[in-house]
Copies of this chain bind each other. A is one copy, B any other.
Amino acid sequence: MQSIEGHLPSQSPLHAILAPSGIAVVGASSDPTKRGYKAMVGLIKGGYGGEIYPVNPKATSILGVKAFASISAIPGTPALALICTPAATVPDLITECGRLGIKGAVVLASGFGETGEAGAALEARMMANARAHGVRIIGPNTSGLFNLHHRVNLLALDNLKTGDIGIVSQSGNMLLSLALEAQHNGQVGFSTYIGPGNQADIGFNDYLRYLGEDEHTRVATLYVEGFRDGRQFLDAAREVTTMKPVVVYKSGSTEQGQKAASSHTGALAGSYRMTVDLLRQAGVSVVQYSDEILPVAEGLGRLQKSEGKRVAVIADGGGQATIAADRLAEAGLTLATLSRDTQVKLEALLLPQASTLNPVDVAGSSDANPSLLAECMAVVAADANVDSVFLVGMFGGYSLRFAESLLGDEMRGAESMIELAHSSGKPLVIYSLYAPINPPALSRLHEAGLPVYASIEHAVRVLAALGERGEYLAKCAVQPANLPMQASRNGQAILTNAKEQKRNLLEFEAKGLLAEHGIHVPDERWVQGSDEMEEVARHFGEQPLAMKVVSKDILHKSDAGGVKLGLVGEAALRDAYKTIVANAQYYDPGARLEGVLVTPMVEKAVEVIIGMLRDPVFGPVLMFGLGGVFVEVWEDVAFRSLPITQADAESMVSQIKAQKVLEGVRGAQAVNKQALVLLLMRISKLVDAYPSIRELDLNPVMVYPESHPHGYAIVDARIILEREE
């Protein structure tokens, strides 16, 4: 479904900007407090190989480099201009850049769209000039960028190690924080950094695609405060995550939904949790805490993925083995069940007091012989039940703690682990309590691309991200086609009719539209007068009936006294009809009544809610959750961007935390999950086929065990249409 052309490296305008043949520094300065000074220092000290053109009308040279009075005075054509001058000067400078043939500009100044109306107008003027002259803009209000493999460093950050982590961060402080953490760690390096700023031109999705294409980047890492176009970002993410890991930290996890909404679905939309669900659906590794960003990026960059979530733990101390087991379980990983063969091999290696169940506790076996740990890792890595290996304890510190003479054996152990990492293809994740002081064996592991963590918690986050990524890729590989649905003539007629009357669908119309596309709806009769009740009573026979008012003006039928339950026989129907009409008129004398809907009472069962809305940032989104008190109290719901695949639908159902309710609690039978999955997929297709549906709310839907003929009963359905203003 996605175009493939966009992948060709030559297509991204960012390649020329991020690996420029020459750079103009507009506002270059000799004053050490100015950004125009820092950028010059960064380029010179960083060893940038292209031409540097400082632009400053008051200087003939800056830091020993010949300066130019204006952009137009530059003799050659730099590929990139770094603009360090105030906001007001920018629009004209962009025009000047364009005339000289400069293809990209990094605009540092703030004072644009982020400050209000005047700034927004300035930003619009800048963009008009940029478009007119074919200049692409990074920023404005960006902290800058670097591309270490091309020795471009516009930030003048010292001590950056060149590596494979690409970063896009909406916060300059966050980039600085990651850089300092990496410097302290000593082993983690970066490829590219870009501050997107206001994203007036180039946005997150473009930056992500660039990192996906960049050969030096093995993991794309993004710090996001808000998406400009979430839908496009999801498209880009879907493309990139199949090639390399994408790590996102999204801030604003506790913000409440932006706006009061007209439905349950709406109330939970626009939220952090919705964003997280949609990102994960696109294969993104979402990290929850800011101090996990770098460890997870490092681990995913180096190890990429594991085939699954079954982890073997090798520990040299019971306490930390227990902590590891706790954290693995909390993260949704499982302790691999080691085969009998594996256990026998471990028993042969270890002292009798060792535990060869997972977590394996060597219990002193390695005290005089730390390379034994590498042997144990090799044994468990060879077990087909194991997806990844987690070493927990004091490896690297044996020579410090026990005897210096153990150093040789520790270094041999490290070499064995490095070999094992290459030969087994299974990720090895290492936690060592000696990591903070980076002794030789750990330094060697790091150097060879095996990440070593100082926190069990961080190591487990990495194992979880590896497993989730492996499962995602496996799912992508077998994704069955979800054929689209065609709008039907009857369906179109229902919508057209409502639109002509400038209203949303009435309940029976909404259900009619669902039925039109193979979705089971209860048998029901739309009745517009008391005199029809004889026929209705005959039609439904002895079963107890529900009666609901039909009116485009009454949204909350129960509140209006517009619902009567448990009706049997013609007399009861006539009575109920009278009462409902009276109640509705009393509730809203101006309401236009369109009669009532009569339908058999549905059997009580597990209540779920299925909703769709068009999110202003992410476009059409489907929500599924447990209904009733569950959605109100626990907000136990799942979101997916539409359209969904079968795997998406299945994962929505299995994501519900109260699985027990679906699987049968208090003696109830399990619900028919397959029917639920099909229903979710049909709703997805239906919404796709009728773009004028703005919101859909099936609430409640009763879900039944497999023995039930339809699997579910849609008790109420609301469909809200796009307003055509």
Contacts and interface: CB of A to CB of B under 8 A. Distances in A.
A172 interface: yes
Given A254-B325, A290-B456, A632 B171 contact: no
Contacts of A504: none
A588 interface: no
A113 interface: no
Interface in A290-311: 290-291
A180 B437 contact: yes
Interface in A651-704: 658, 660-661, 665-666
Contacts of A172: 317, 319
A436 B32 CA distance: 25
Contact of A173 (B394, B457, B661): B394
Interface in A399-449: 401-403, 433-434, 436-437
Given A291-B456, A319-B174, A115 B660 contact: no
Contact of A433 (B170, B176, B457, B661): B176
Nearest to A170: B319
B403 A319 contact: no
Interface string A168-183: 0111111011001101
A478 interface: no
A92 interface: no
A271 B312 CA distance: 25
A339 interface: no
A16 interface: no
Nearest to A368: B33
A251 interface: yes
Between A174, A289, A393, A632, the greatest number of chain B beta carbons within 10 A of the residue's beta carbon is seen for: A289
A329 interface: yes
A561 B293 CA distance: 57
Nearest to A254: B329
Contacts of A454: 181, 291
A1 interface: no
A170 B323 CA distance: 13
A724 to B, nearest CB: 35
B666 A629 contact: yes
Contacts of A174: 319-320
Nearest to A184: B436
Given A251-B322, A353-B115, A184 B629 contact: no
Interface size on A, as a range, is 35 or more
Given A437-B180, A456-B291, A458-B291, A634 B632 contact: no
A253 interface: yes
A312 B33 CA distance: 30
A316 B177 CA distance: 13
A344 interface: no
Contact of A251 (B225, B316, B323): B323
A481 interface: no
B393 A173 contact: yes
A235 interface: no
Contacts of A171: 317-320
Nearest to A363: B110
A457 B291 contact: yes
A181 B290 contact: no
A223 interface: yes
A647 to B, nearest CB: 25
A354 to B, nearest CB: 13
B436 A183 contact: yes
B320 A173 contact: yes
A291 B665 CA distance: 37
The 9 closest A-B pairs by CB, nearest first: A171-B319, A184-B436, A177-B433, A173-B317, A254-B329, A291-B455, A251-B322, A253-B326, A633-B658
13 contacts: A169-B319, A171-B318, A173-B393, A173-B394, A176-B394, A180-B436, A183-B437, A251-B319, A251-B326, A254-B329, A628-B666, A632-B665, A632-B666
